[in-house]
């Protein structure tokens, strides 16, 4: 019996590695639960929202010398230290139990995606739902992370902080997190059948856990900051949050509203995070694109031409990512060239070799596109997350014998209202991005006129992002 179980586990592990290359193209995690919002955004709404609001906002910003304020709003409420500790402890325990339950039911439960706790919890509620929470109120991942919970327990057992290999190599930067994001979200979630399999979902969680805990044991807790793909993603999304949670001296937390571009005006730490931000914008767009008929036409056309088989979807994803990153780099370089167009300004901005410091521009302007990624992520995923959360509740109470009609938390939402929400979220996200970029341009370039010139290429790119996002949701949706 034990021998057969070992063979089964080994086979699943090997199969999970092969699935990345052999899984059918076009698989998506978003069909774990059904959707009644399959109709595309009407073309008139697309045309109304595509360039209008963002272009008018950019025009207004171009003719004002004022930078949007980034100061936080007044405090709305103060939560005492005891309540904060209780909330954090409760959230940490509940989330950890959710991950453990996913591992158990993914392995031993019924292998039906829509009926298994592992698939309903992991992909929509955990991966996507925590992301939406980060966008709304800041990243909760430092509290919820099960890897940190286990690591803290190991440190208590050892009586010291574990870091077997010592300091984290500075040259690694956040590249491990970027690689993990591209594999975990870009490929595994969006391009394979793994999210439809509870057993393979369990393998993904296990591999993720091993990678995070092994790295933390080797390099210490900084590994979670630099190498955890979801941790970095949620932290970036948290920059967009309109809610600020600030700890006071006595341990209490002050809750206040802030301008949504407040966290998007400070530069990111390095090139890996720059690419991560662009990848976040691109990946959610590509995910939406995979649900369209045009994507299927392109996919099978390329497969037939190149004879590349199932891995063609990964090739398309990689090609599109390279195109997005390259376009962003060209845009910020052009913006810096225009913003520092005079010889004196160029000399002030040049590095020791005399070249324009466009890398600094990339780090400065990268966070300004985060509202675009966040807005489209909310628009694309909120029905999926809300329905799946209701489904998870049904699965959780089913063993208790509590019978009830299927929950439909979005039953009140009409199709026109849903279309309106898509349009509003995307346009507002892009307006916030333009405002953040204008603030960075005013701070970076030597004069108001220079800021207008330096800002202009990025505004054009943002308008392009707007049109692309709205175009994707205007396309007819195909079944998964």
> What does the pLDDT read at residue 39?
59
Q: Are 278 and 369 in contact (CB under 8 A)?
A: yes
Which of the residue ranges 166-180, 306-320, 378-392, 421-435 would you say has the lowest mean pLDDT? 421-435
Which of the residue ranges 2-16, 30-44, 71-85, 227-241 would you say has the lowest mean pLDDT? 2-16
Q: 448: pLDDT confidence band, cut at 50, 70 and 90?
A: confident
> What does the pLDDT read at residue 122?
97
Residue with tokens 């390095």: 270
Return all residues near 363 (Cβ < 8 A) that are at least 6 apart: 267, 268, 269, 270, 271, 273, 274
Q: Are 406 and 32 in contact (CB under 8 A)?
A: no
Residue 8 has pLDDT above 70, yes or no: no
> What does the pLDDT read at residue 48?
65
Residue 96 has pLDDT above 90, yes or no: yes
Region 125-132: mean pLDDT is: 96
> What does the pLDDT read at residue 36?
54
Between 216 and 65, name the one with better pLDDT: 216
Q: Are 248 and 78 in contact (CB under 8 A)?
A: yes
Locate the domains of the chain by residue range. 20-473
> What does the pLDDT read at residue 154?
94
Q: 9: pLDDT confidence band, cut at 50, 70 and 90?
A: very low
> What does the pLDDT read at residue 6?
40
> What does the pLDDT read at residue 477?
66
Question: Which of the given ranges, 77-86, 201-210, 234-243, 417-426, has the highest pLDDT on average?
Answer: 201-210
Residue 184 has pLDDT above 90, yes or no: yes
Is 245 in a helix, a strand, or coil?
strand
Is 168 in a helix, a strand, or coil?
coil
- The whole-angstrom separation of Cα 418 and Cα 28 is 21
Q: Are 16 and 200 in contact (CB under 8 A)?
A: yes
> What does the pLDDT read at residue 314?
95
Residue 266 has pLDDT above 50, yes or no: yes
pLDDT digits (tens, 9 = 90+) for 189-221: 999 999 999 999 999 999 999 999 999 999 999
Q: Quote the mean pLDDT of the chain.
A: 83
- The whole-angstrom separation of Cα 258 and Cα 43 is 34
Q: 18: pLDDT confidence band, cut at 50, 70 and 90?
A: very low
- The whole-angstrom separation of Cα 439 and Cα 365 is 10
> What does the pLDDT read at residue 416?
79
Helices and strands in the chain, H and E counts: 21, 3
Q: Are 368 and 264 in contact (CB under 8 A)?
A: yes
> What does the pLDDT read at residue 2?
40
Residue 320 has pLDDT above 80, yes or no: yes
Residue 28 has pLDDT above 60, yes or no: no
Q: Which residues sit opposite 256 in a β-bridge? A: 75, 244
Residue 128 has pLDDT above 50, yes or no: yes
Q: Which residues sit opposite 350 in a β-bridge? A: 356
Residue 405 has pLDDT above 90, yes or no: no
**Verdict on whether the full-model pTM lies above 0.75:** yes
Residue 401 main-chain phi, psi, to 5 deg: 75, 20
Region 449-476: mean pLDDT is: 85
> What does the pLDDT read at residue 35?
55
- The whole-angstrom separation of Cα 383 and Cα 404 is 21
Residue 394 has pLDDT above 70, yes or no: yes
Region 124-134: mean pLDDT is: 96
Return all residues near 364 (Cβ < 8 A) that are at least 6 apart: 267, 440, 444
């Amino acid at each position: 019996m034990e021998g057969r179980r070992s063979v089964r586990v080994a086979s699943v592990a090997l199969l999970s590695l092969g699935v990345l290359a052999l899984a059918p193209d076009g698989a998506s995690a978003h069909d774990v639960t059904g959707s009644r919002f399959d109709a595309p955004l009407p073309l008139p709404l697309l045309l109304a929202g595509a360039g209008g609001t963002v272009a008018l906002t950019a025009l207004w910003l171009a003719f004002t010398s004022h930078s949007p304020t980034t100061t936080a709003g007044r405090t709305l409420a103060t939560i005492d230290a005891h309540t904060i500790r209780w909330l954090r402890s409760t959230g940490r325990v509940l989330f950890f139990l959710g991950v453990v339950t996913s591992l158990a039911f993914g392995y031993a439960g019924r292998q039906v995606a829509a009926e298994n706790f592992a698939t309903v919890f992991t992909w929509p509620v955990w991966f996507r739902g925590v992301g939406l929470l980060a966008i709304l109120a800041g990243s909760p991942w430092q509290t919820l992370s099960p890897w940190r919970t286990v690591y803290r327990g190991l440190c208590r057992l050892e009586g010291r902080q574990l870091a077997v290999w010592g300091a984290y190599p500075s040259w690694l930067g956040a590249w491990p997190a970027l690689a993990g994001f591209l594999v975990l979200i870009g490929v595994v979630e969006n391009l394979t059948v793994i999210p439809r399999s509870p057993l393979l979902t369990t393998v993904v969680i296990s591999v993720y856990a091993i990678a995070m805990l092994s790295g933390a044991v080797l390099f210490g807790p900084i590994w979670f900051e630099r190498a955890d793909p979801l941790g970095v993603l949620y932290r970036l999304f948290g920059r967009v949050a309109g809610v600020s949670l600030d700890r006071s001296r006595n341990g209490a937390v002050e809750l206040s509203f802030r301008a949504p571009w407040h966290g998007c005006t400070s530069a990111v730490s390095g090139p890996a995070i720059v690419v991560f931000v662009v990848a976040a914008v691109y990946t959610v767009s590509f995910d939406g694109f995979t649900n369209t008929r045009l994507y299927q036409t392109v996919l099978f056309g390329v497969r037939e031409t190149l004879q590349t088989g199932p891995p063609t979807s990964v090739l398309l994803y990689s090609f599109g990512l390279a195109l997005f990153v390259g376009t962003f780099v060209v845009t910020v370089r052009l913006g810096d060239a225009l913003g520092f167009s005079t010889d004196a300004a160029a000399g002030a901005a040049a590095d020791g070799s005399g070249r324009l410091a466009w890398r600094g521009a990339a780090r400065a302007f990268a966070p300004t596109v985060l509202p675009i990624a966040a807005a489209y992520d909310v628009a694309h995923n909120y029905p999926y997350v809300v329905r799946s959360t209701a489904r998870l509740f049904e699965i959780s109470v089913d063993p208790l014998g509590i019978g009830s009609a299927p929950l439909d938390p979005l039953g009140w939402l009409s199709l026109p209202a849903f279309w309106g929400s898509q349009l509003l979220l995307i346009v507002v996200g892009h307006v916030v991005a333009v405002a953040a970029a204008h603030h960075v341009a005013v701070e970076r370039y030597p004069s108001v006129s220079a800021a207008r010139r330096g800002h202009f290429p990025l505004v054009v790119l943002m308008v392009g992002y707007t049109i692309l996002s709205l175009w994707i949701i205007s396309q007819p949706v195909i079944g998964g």
